[in-house]
Amino acid sequence: MRVRRIGVCGTDLHAYCGRQPFFTYPRILGHELGVEVLAVGSDVTTVRPGDQCAVEPYLNCGGCIACRRGKPNCCRTLRVFGVHIDGGHRERIVVPANKLHASARLTLDQLALVETLGIGAHAVSRAGVEAGETVAVLGAGPIGLAVMQFAREAGARVIAVDVNPSRLDFVQARLGVDAVVNASSDEVGKRLADLTGGDLPTAVFDATGNVHSMNAAFAYNAPGGRLVLVGITRENVSFSDPELHRRELSVLASRNALSGDFPRIISLIEGRRIDTTPWITHRAALEDAPAHFDGWTRPETGAIKAMIEA
């Protein structure tokens, strides 16, 4: 494949800062990819030269207990392109054909966003979000945005929580979330109670990767609710066991996405059920990307999603 677009996500930025727990260094980044197929093996029938594709960057073994039970995202020897092995910040790459998802209708920008959306789709599926319930999403970065998109697609009322006012303005104006909470000025638990008539959200997603946010999130669920930890931290997450039991909370981790999420997301974008237009706020050419990475890590630059063009 020729790499044409590379999305930059929180995983990449944390890796750049040396804080990503699944990385060994040095590492070539790049796992959110829009590519053009240049050549295929003689036995490949699913894609052909000239196809433009999203890349499913999760390389699983197919034989371990997780793979056999339909959870290849938890494969014992999982290698994620651009995380455990070198990724797409280069002109040419080779991946198994079954990890390519073609579309003749999506742009290269849209194809590069499919993997990010898959993280949100899988997290919402893990929680079993239903129409009519209220969910809170902590963190309005790209992964949080993806969770919000699919929670809304499921018919839920969505409350976004973040410390950055500009990001809250963005998700309310461009994604149409139902309410926002500024965690830098509001008492989050009280504000969530006020917005739900005292009930609190029935599902809470933490997409921050911040241990303090993750620890605090246990207090934001309604009794019988679900807490989904989408972000990752190097540190130990702690909680009050009596409070967990009193409310019989379900605590779920959500890792990556499943293969079936990719064609579903492509179909939703093609059908205009999901609009990726607002996402991309910054761009750079591949050769210029190193000069921009430091800026993208800083909130004051206003980066929601940076896209690298190759």
Mean pLDDT for 4-24 is 86
Mean pLDDT for 186-208 is 97
Neighbours of 309 (CB within 10 A): 17
Domains 2-117+257-309 and 120-253 share a fold: no
- Give residue 300's pLDDT: 83
Mean pLDDT, the chain, integer: 95
Mean pLDDT for 118-134 is 97
Q: pTM here?
A: 0.93
- Give residue 301's pLDDT: 86
- % of the chain at pLDDT higher than 70: 100
Mean pLDDT for 183-212 is 96
Q: Domains of the chain: which residue ranges?
A: 2-117+257-309, 120-253
- Give residue 23's pLDDT: 83
Instruction: Give the burial string for 171-195 (b: 16+ CB within 10 Å, else e).
Output: beeebebebbbbbeeeebeebbbeb
- Give residue 108's pLDDT: 97
Q: What is the CATH number of domain 120-253?
A: 3.40.50.720
Strands of the 179-182 sheet, one edge to the other = 179-182, 157-162, 134-138, 203-206, 226-229, 250-253
Name the architecture of domain 2-117+257-309.
Answer: Alpha-Beta Complex (3.90)
Is the model's pLDDT at 118 over the cut of 90?
A: yes
